[in-house]
A and B are shown apart, each in its own frame.
Chain A
Amino acid sequence: MLLTITTTARPATDLGHLLHKHPDRVQGFEQSFGTAYVFYPEATEERCTAALLLEVDAQALLRARTSVSTPDFSLAQYVNDRPYATSSLFTVALGRVLRSALRGTCRQRPELARTPIPLELRLPAVPCRGGADRARALFEPLGWSVLAEPVPLDPGLPGWGDSHYLSLTLTGTLRLSEALSHLYVLLPAMDGTKHYWVDRGEVDKLLRAGGLADAASEGAAEGGDDPGAHASGWLAAHPERAWITRRYLNRRESYVRTALARLAEADDLPEEAGDDPAVEEAAEERIAAPGRGEREPSLAEQRAGAVMAVLRAENAASVLDLGCGSGKLLERLVREPSLGRVTGVDVSVASLEHAHRRLCPGCDPRGRGRHRPLFADTAGGTEHAAARPELLVGSVVYRDKRFEGYDAAVLMEVVEHLDPSRLPAMEETVFGAARPRVVVVTTPNAEYNVHYEGLEEGRLRHSDHRFEWTRAEFTLWADRVADRYGYRVRHVPVGPEHPETGAPTQMGVLTR
């Protein structure tokens, strides 16, 4: 809610010219979500401090709900940190109220705007889940000296530790416009979970403010009031550039995701990170195996390759990808000429929408006359059937007629996402009812985890994994399933094999 900008450049009160705000006045600027005030707690020749204080009007924010896109829909509407923290809402106010300063325009003192001056920026509550290290990694390369102190969560809850807010003080000698554009771009990036964009084009504006017009892909029209149009392009040279852009571009919502958030909320749980396979892959990449050369395919690629090899060897003509997620494997399957019928199943509509975007570019699932895979109940049979896999919302723990009639089914990195108590239901659905000739199951090999640096002992590779099996445990399970449902099983390691711990991924091929 508060930013103070202090300079000791003489005369310090020239800060008023740079900000286009008179030091002896208190000015209020109405926003759709409250009022932003600019005033000067001190203004002397030696030292001048300007304060930008955003007073959020919760009621106005609620009224503006239709125009303000909020990712959280309920509790957080009333109980949220926006009135107090330096949220992205604050950033929006910053961009508007200090627009000219951000652009570096200053009619009275043009040369001053172009001159680096000693600055101290203070922000008492900056949301930053990466902690002080993250803040330093973001600001230090830009020439700031960073003092970042974690804010304690609650003195009334001893033992609960610190909050995810930092009290942030940045000192350095920079041009004011540059300093403001750093805040404008980096504050929302640090605030990982919640963003309150006033409109969708806001993302593009922010990225352009960092001089990264290319990254702001979706092609919003060039706006005349673009506050960052004249920024210097510092983002392009920033060592954390990839991280920053990813923070902006990785956010998408879907209505089912919102519904799920409501269920989590009904259960007094914070919003789920979601079961996004991309997250999982990133996790495995992050804890990359030792000694993997740059040129070597990733484990995910090797896994998909191994699955493809099995399907070819088994002469499968149709395949059901159970738990297809965002469609990485489907992408390969549809290119396989020997496969006449390819169907992806996932329990998450959001994942299927992802897969649909991946597999049918330019095709709107809700559009008229377009590919509409998500609620399909029967086999495709359309002219696009070969190129466009059928996508079904379904669950492996609910028996499903639609799963019948395939040569092969793939459960790639799926079983470990099921609670052990639900495995029998999955077995019944896949091996008992659908009964494809071939079932390919891949799952992490827990023994291999010791090779992952950064993965604490006993921890799992992904937060949604309910278990990770040793090779013996997987064999035991596969043998039991094979015995019960009349399959034979063979095991294939995937990825670099270690003499003692085996390969990172284990694959079981069950056939009948």
Chain B
Amino acid sequence: MNTPEKTAPATRVLTVPAMGLVVLVGVSGSGKSTFAARHFKPTQVISSDYCRCLVSDDENDQSASADAFSLLHTIVDIRLRRGLLTVVDATNVQSGARAQLVRIAKDNDVLSTAIVLDVPEALARERNRHRPDRDFGDHVIRRQRRDLRQGVRRLSREGFRRVHVLTGPEEIDAATVELERAWSDRRELSGPFDIVGDVHGCREELEELLGRLGYALSRDDRGRPVGARHPEGRTAVFVGDLVDRGPDSPGVLRLVMGMVADGDALCVPGNHENKLVRVLKGGRAQLTHGLAETMDQLGRESEEFRQRVLSFCDGLVSHLVLDGGALVVAHAGLKEEYHGRASGRVRAFALYGQTTGETDEYGLPVRLPWAREYRGRAAVVYGHTPMDKAEWLNNTICLDTGCVFGGRLTALRYPERELVDVDAHRTWYEPVRPLAGGASTEAERPDASVDATDVGVGGPRPGLAVHTRYGTVRTDAGSTLAALEAMSRFAVDPRWLLYLPPTMAPAPTSAEPGVLEHPKEAFASFRGSGVGEVVCEEKHMGSRAVAVLCRDEAAAERRFVPGELGTVYTRTGRPFFGDPALRARVVDELRRAVTDAGLWDRLGTDWIALDGEMLPWSAKARSLIREQYASVGAAARAALPAAGSALAAAAGRGLPVDGLADRVARRTEQVEEFSRVYRRYSWDTDGTAGLLYAPFMVLASEGREYGDADHLWHMATAERLAEASGLVRSTRYRVVDTTDPAACAAAADWWGDLVAAGGEGMVVKPVLGARAEGRKGLVQPGLKVRGPEYLRIIYGPDYTDPERLEVLRDRNVGRKGGLAMREHKLGLEALERHARGEPLWRVHEPVFAVLALESEPVDPRL
């Protein structure tokens, strides 16, 4: 098939890879452009004339050729990198020109096809004569034709996988093009699959495993298994290395070949099959790594069987892309750029993995950790490297659990992602080195680290674009770098950070006289976006605290950080308690509360993440209260009386200072009111004594997040916890129908009572929960309505002066709302990714983006 094919001018069907390069070869006037236009989409065809025109405004300007081809090569390179079929419409009669194109295709790991259009010289000349813009002489065509004739025989050796030669205008006109998918492209198969790790001749274990997976074996008249079928039509997929080392490689081959032939299984080759093919073809290879045993065993089989083995193994495709592209199976794994591609290095990677060229102390090759850097959306299932345990790492999993070395034979049910395994019946072959430690046996799992590019750093321009269910959220350069510094220097281990609380917008500025925020506007806002029922929750004035609590160390090790039981972190991801001993006590107390409230069983989980408020405010914000608030009070209390007495003395002298003195007196009162606010939220704590945690939302537990749970459930859960522990405080709340004016008014009164008693205010949330949607999709998860006294510590002691209040009414709430919404989307995305068990970097990306957005210059007083 690698030789030029000549056939009668009937309808020639030219097969062309659906993803790859097509090089048209023919003299000027041979009809390449016409041919291309007939068979391919305009965007698929890149013509040298067009490129010449782009760089010179004249498609015949030969002086622009170098630039034109440079552009052409660039476009071809980009298109092939993006996996697009690309047709080059240029004469391509010289081998040098073709070689460059083939090189580009190889660099992008796609196949090249040449289509030669061979027309009589006279016809070409005639056609050119009808084109006034082609004024070159006939000798040009003659020379092109000579080059073509010389080259055409060598084409297949130039690296083209296929060469189609069409001779004469009739054959050219009659030809049709048929796109052929890559052999590895089996996206139409959606399983369900049972993917089986390296068998290495362990037939007994394979039979047992298939049995456990629910396959019914069929046997030949000698009782040997020759097929297996799953009653529900599942398909087995073998990751290769069926042979060598083990006791019965022919038996394994017989079974697998039978299953593949019957359509019950798929199979990719392993490096052992590859070597076996070389030997069976008569090539030379050292009979090491168990190949000797296989040749021995095959020697007892028939020649016919050996031939079947050869043709089976030789016909295996390097890797398979399945289930619409969501699943890739390759023996040694495959990096994302190689999925669905075809080239020598793709095959080498799939069979042997990527090695550093170095060897370890056992003389075995050191493998590059491609899986640690894998960032693809497709799950990659592979084998090749014996591990003591199969574990997911960045959406990849190695199923080789060393059965032949006395380990286990493992299968993965897909899409269920369940592991099924059987123990080896014995150690069939002594391993050279101990099985690679499964990730969890080490203190640090390999996916504990995140790449700089995962957080938008390290590229030409810092920044993230996080794709969420509700749209893409971007971060800019400055805030991304600020987040990098904050996250690197201050945050807890990112494995704990499954979520950062989004900022919350206030209700639109109130029209009521004397107040900036009032429940009325919050109700109106939700009513306006189509939310009927809302819940009003008392707003505790403390510090935001996310608590992640594990039932036991096993849960922490599996999902978070080994050796710990939980953590409490702040809204920017810092440890809430600087003192590890205090953190441990709080975590223990909260875990006890979860246990006593029966939540582990109720939620079917061994860990839980809560969002809430830690009181008192002074527990964390003590130095802020001191620096930012109490200091202002102190300065005022020192300065205002001094000013007052100076003014009094001046008044005593008859100087006109009345207005000034009045203002100083008023400031004195306001500062006292101001001080009362922060004092109320400050009290002493000693260890956990005095601390109160008010959870208002269950964020997540094993395998699920609670964005869709309604707030009444969240509140009830918080109440259970409060009943179970003195450390936990429940939250007062009430449900309000925003379309019922009486209910709204009653709720406003309730708010009035709260703030009159010194409360910060309340938060109004859609009852349906964080994922509640309104007329235009996702709505704000909550709007805060803060009390007028509380706002003194936000807007200053004197903000209630009418002229100040007037100015403050113009505050830009909209921008804050936009920010809150973007962060809300990111928060939901992070929880969703975590619930799906996605790799750390995927969870960390939206979390990091929240931190970046928090550093953006949006008025934080809002």
Chain A residues in the interface with B (C-beta under 8 A): 1-2, 4, 24-26, 37, 39-43, 49, 51, 53, 55, 58-59, 62, 73-76, 78-81, 83-85, 122, 124-125, 127, 151-154, 156-157, 159-160, 163-165, 167, 255-256, 258-260, 262-270, 275, 347-349, 375, 377, 393-402, 417, 419, 421-422, 424-425, 428-429, 432-433, 464
Partner of B572, one of A42, A160, A267: A267
**Shortest Cβ distance from residue A37 to the other chain B in the assembled complex, whole angstroms:** 6
CB neighbours (8 Å) of B793 from chain A are 79
B459 on the A face (CB < 8 A): yes
Give the interface centre of B481, B484, B643, B794 by most chain A CB atoms within 10 Å. Answer: B481
**Shortest Cβ distance from residue A324 to the other chain B in the assembled complex, whole angstroms:** 14
Partner of A153, one of B628, B634, B657, B671: B634
Partner of A55, one of B458, B663, B671, B803: B663
Measured CA separation A39–B645 after assembly (Å): 13
Measured CA separation A165–B793 after assembly (Å): 20
Q: A275-B489, A398-B452 are in contact. Are A263 and B460 (CB under 8 A)?
A: no
B639 on the A face (CB < 8 A): yes
Measured CA separation A42–B655 after assembly (Å): 10
Chain B, 626-649, CB within 8 A of any chain A CB = 626-643, 645-649
Subset of 5 A-B contacts with CB under 8 Å:
A157-B630, A263-B483, A263-B572, A268-B617, A398-B451
Chain B residues in the interface with A (C-beta under 8 A): 369, 373, 443-444, 446, 448-455, 457-462, 477-479, 481-489, 492-494, 503, 543, 561, 570-572, 574-575, 617, 620-621, 623-624, 626-643, 645-650, 653, 655-657, 660, 663, 667, 671, 675-676, 679, 682, 684, 793-799, 803-804, 807, 851, 854-857, 859-861
User: Do A270 and B623 touch (CB < 8 A)?
Assistant: yes
Measured CA separation A159–B683 after assembly (Å): 11
Measured CA separation A433–B368 after assembly (Å): 10
Give the interface centre of B486, B575, B645 by most chain A CB atoms within 10 Å. Answer: B486
Q: A1-B643, A269-B623 are in contact. Are A424 and B634 (CB under 8 A)?
A: no
CB neighbours (8 Å) of B655 from chain A are 24-26, 39-40
CB neighbours (8 Å) of B492 from chain A are 419, 421
User: Do A80 and B458 touch (CB < 8 A)?
Assistant: no
Inter-chain pairs besides A154-B675, A397-B488, A425-B450, 17 sampled, C-beta below 8 Å: A26-B660, A53-B646, A74-B860, A75-B794, A76-B628, A79-B629, A81-B631, A153-B633, A157-B682, A263-B854, A266-B503, A349-B482, A349-B485, A397-B449, A399-B450, A421-B561, A424-B449
Measured CA separation A81–B451 after assembly (Å): 44
CB neighbours (8 Å) of A421 from chain B are 492-493, 561
CB neighbours (8 Å) of A167 from chain B are 638
**Shortest Cβ distance from residue B614 to the other chain A in the assembled complex, whole angstroms:** 11
Closest to B804 in A: A59
CB neighbours (8 Å) of B631 from chain A are 81, 153, 163-165
CB neighbours (8 Å) of A395 from chain B are 452, 457, 484-485, 487-488
List the 6 closest pairs (A to B, CB-CB), nearest first.
A41-B649, A259-B482, A163-B634, A268-B621, A78-B796, A84-B635
Partner of B855, one of A37, A53, A260: A260
Closest to B655 in A: A26
**Shortest Cβ distance from residue A38 to the other chain B in the assembled complex, whole angstroms:** 11
User: Do B675 and A51 touch (CB < 8 A)?
Assistant: no
Partner of B488, one of A79, A347, A424: A347
CB neighbours (8 Å) of A347 from chain B are 484-485, 488-489
User: Do B570 and A393 touch (CB < 8 A)?
Assistant: no
Q: A157-B682, A395-B452 are in contact. Are A268 and B646 (CB under 8 A)?
A: no
Measured CA separation A125–B444 after assembly (Å): 54
CB neighbours (8 Å) of B646 from chain A are 2, 4, 39, 41, 49, 51, 53
CB neighbours (8 Å) of A255 from chain B are 478
User: Do B628 and A58 touch (CB < 8 A)?
Assistant: no
User: Do B859 and A393 touch (CB < 8 A)?
Assistant: no
CB neighbours (8 Å) of A85 from chain B are 635, 639
**Shortest Cβ distance from residue B621 to the other chain A in the assembled complex, whole angstroms:** 4
Measured CA separation A78–B624 after assembly (Å): 15
User: Do B854 and A125 touch (CB < 8 A)?
Assistant: no
Measured CA separation A486–B643 after assembly (Å): 71
CB neighbours (8 Å) of B647 from chain A are 39, 41, 53
Q: A157-B679, A263-B855, A266-B572 are in contact. Are A75 and B628 (CB under 8 A)?
A: yes
**Shortest Cβ distance from residue B210 to the other chain A in the assembled complex, whole angstroms:** 38
CB neighbours (8 Å) of B634 from chain A are 125, 151-154, 163, 165
Partner of A399, one of B451, B486, B624, B642: B451
Measured CA separation A262–B851 after assembly (Å): 11
User: Do A26 and B459 touch (CB < 8 A)?
Assistant: no
Measured CA separation A262–B571 after assembly (Å): 13
Main secondary structure of the interface of B (DSSP, over half): helix
Instruction: Give the tally of cross-chain contacts (CB within 8 A).
Output: 279
User: Do A375 and B484 touch (CB < 8 A)?
Assistant: no
Measured CA separation A39–B628 after assembly (Å): 31
CB neighbours (8 Å) of A393 from chain B are 457, 462, 481, 484
**Shortest Cβ distance from residue A186 to the other chain B in the assembled complex, whole angstroms:** 18
CB neighbours (8 Å) of A24 from chain B are 653, 655
Q: A55-B660, A157-B679 are in contact. Are A401 and B489 (CB under 8 A)?
A: no
Measured CA separation A176–B327 after assembly (Å): 85
CB neighbours (8 Å) of B443 from chain A are 424
**Shortest Cβ distance from residue A387 to the other chain B in the assembled complex, whole angstroms:** 23
Give the interface centre of A41, A73, A74 by most chain B CB atoms within 10 Å. Answer: A41
User: Do A84 and B650 touch (CB < 8 A)?
Assistant: no
User: Do A84 and B449 touch (CB < 8 A)?
Assistant: no
Q: A40-B655, A75-B794, A395-B457 are in contact. Are A151 and B452 (CB under 8 A)?
A: no
Q: A41-B646, A51-B650, A398-B450 are in contact. Are A75 and B489 (CB under 8 A)?
A: no
CB neighbours (8 Å) of B570 from chain A are 267-268
User: Do A1 and B457 touch (CB < 8 A)?
Assistant: no
Measured CA separation A310–B262 after assembly (Å): 66
User: Do B630 and A153 touch (CB < 8 A)?
Assistant: yes
Measured CA separation A113–B265 after assembly (Å): 105
User: Do B657 and A398 touch (CB < 8 A)?
Assistant: no
User: Do A40 and B796 touch (CB < 8 A)?
Assistant: no
**Shortest Cβ distance from residue B426 to the other chain A in the assembled complex, whole angstroms:** 33
Measured CA separation A98–B453 after assembly (Å): 57
Q: A43-B653, A75-B861 are in contact. Are A154 and B679 (CB under 8 A)?
A: yes
CB neighbours (8 Å) of B373 from chain A are 399
CB neighbours (8 Å) of A157 from chain B are 630, 679, 682
Closest to B797 in A: A79
Measured CA separation A422–B627 after assembly (Å): 30
User: Do A396 and B488 touch (CB < 8 A)?
Assistant: yes
CB neighbours (8 Å) of B684 from chain A are 159
Closest to A43 in B: B653
Measured CA separation A399–B461 after assembly (Å): 17
Measured CA separation A37–B577 after assembly (Å): 48
User: Do A266 and B804 touch (CB < 8 A)?
Assistant: no
User: Do A256 and B639 touch (CB < 8 A)?
Assistant: no
User: Do B639 and A84 touch (CB < 8 A)?
Assistant: yes
Q: A267-B570, A393-B462 are in contact. Are A79 and B650 (CB under 8 A)?
A: no
Q: A79-B794, A266-B572 are in contact. Are A84 and B860 (CB under 8 A)?
A: no
User: Do A39 and B650 touch (CB < 8 A)?
Assistant: yes
User: Do A2 and B572 touch (CB < 8 A)?
Assistant: no
**Shortest Cβ distance from residue A82 to the other chain B in the assembled complex, whole angstroms:** 9
Measured CA separation A267–B569 after assembly (Å): 10
Measured CA separation A263–B796 after assembly (Å): 21
User: Do B639 and A124 touch (CB < 8 A)?
Assistant: yes
CB neighbours (8 Å) of B636 from chain A are 81, 83-84, 125
CB neighbours (8 Å) of A275 from chain B are 489
Closest to B564 in A: A421
Q: A40-B653, A160-B630 are in contact. Are A125 and B638 (CB under 8 A)?
A: yes
Measured CA separation A397–B490 after assembly (Å): 12
Measured CA separation A159–B630 after assembly (Å): 13
Partner of B632, one of A74, A80, A401: A80
**Shortest Cβ distance from residue A486 to the other chain B in the assembled complex, whole angstroms:** 9
Closest to A154 in B: B630
